[in-house]
Structure 1
Amino acid sequence: MQESVKPQFDELTILYRDENYIAIDKPSGLLVHRSFLDKHETQFAMQMLRDQIGQHVFPVHRLDRPTSGVLLFALSSEAARDMNQLFIDGQIEKRYLALVRGFLNESIFLDKPLKEELDKIADKFADQNKAPQEAQTQFHCLHQASLPIPIGKYPTVRYSLVECFPKTGRKHQIRRHLKHLSLPIIGDVNHGDNQHNQFFREHFKLRRLMLFASELKFVHPYSKQPITIRAPLGDAMLTICQQLGWPTEEKDYYGNH
């Protein structure tokens, strides 16, 4: 089962650019770069951006294929090295928004180590008994909604829009931590709730993982200026927010930190 409908992507939206770095709004469903696990794919953010701006770009972090939002590249190997160091040192603040099943009623700092998720093909020779890795995420609820629609044994459906601040960068960390809190992300095929995923496709007509990399904050390694890069939720998600009784303008979903 695919996590999202396979679309064709046109020109990428550039959110930020200077002489050293460039950031795009990566669409849901677009791979960051080529992988032998996805030999049938023909579009990749890295190659598309290179062709679009006419110069090589160097990845400094990644987003899962079904996640949309801020994706940063360097414009030289040196700039990539220096930005990578900021990620390693925990000097990058990453803010995600997730639409989840259930109510998050208080801010939670979850410190739960995660065992590495291994791919049957790519990680065939990896250590299957590797100890769980440290994983920490801060969660804060922005909005809640309840709809009088019965699913399963409950007479209503409950949803929350949650701010997620990962302090570490483990594979599928936000998805797995929210599942641990019994707040699975809508549209998550591997860690979610299939009943609600199906309801969401039928009721809201949107087939994607409802996880958005909304902001990236850091002190520029060269200018030493604070940089905030933001990606919009998009019209489709804002329409859902309206149906759930939440604010309907992009500015209402920017971070205040």
Structure 2
Amino acid sequence: MEIRYASHPAEVKHFDTERLRKEFLIETLFVPDKLTAVYSHVDRFLVGGALPVKEPVKLEADKKEMGSDYFLERREIGIINIGGAGIVTADGVRYELAPRDCLYIGLGTRDVTFASNDAANPARFYYNSSPAHKSYPTVKAAIEEAAPVHLGSLSTSNERTIYKYIHGGGIRSCQLVMGMTLLKDGSMWNTMPCHTHNRRSEVYLYFDMPEDGVVFHMMGEPHETRHLVVRNEQAVFSPSWSIHSGVGTTSYTFIWGMAGENQEFDDMDPVAMKDLK
């Protein structure tokens, strides 16, 4: 398990490209037959992936770093499959996850494993996890069951559909919020005009990008913006004080996950375009 510590915005303004990438970018999430895990001290967020090819992958706790006997002893988790069809088994119950299906698993679930239906087209399970104080039921949601919100337009290069999976009006959780945004062909911008939300942090996973495609992910305080060059299946931590927006060389898809003080999707502090620097 990799550990990331919280960074003060006054320090981040002095980071060079290498330091920015080290602190905020997750470059490798999917390793064949392995579980990856990156633990952030910002809202105790845990982000990772499972890529079962030859054998199932178990969701295991790092006892030294997490201080728990099993991963979900004091946590909840949201999982979205961005690969081929697969299976998540939670305490003996099997859940079939087609591409872009989501599964929420609550506090206290002891045994979780990930498997693929076809090794030639393996599932790619991306997960976000946050601390939990109450056990909510395990729930699966296909993309057709998610709450869609259509935003933007082609004239501003940001026509997109937001699918909400884990939120106050959908799958219930303690503090985790999770969903996915699909950009229409010809659109490249996400979350612009941008915003911050001081009550919760956020993580973006970018995918559905060609090998030579990149997203320039904007971060930092509105008056001290920086950028990260992000490639396919890489993720970015966004602390509560930072904007989180991006523009790609092509259209793409991204998964957003949030954790913090509240779960109100619209609770944000908008930043006027004229105030960005």
TM-score, normalisation: structure 2 = 0.28
More strand by share: 2
| Higher relative contact order (Cα pairs below 8 Å, separated by 6+ residues) | 1
The structure with the larger Rg is 1
TM-score, normalisation: structure 1 = 0.30
More helix by share: 1
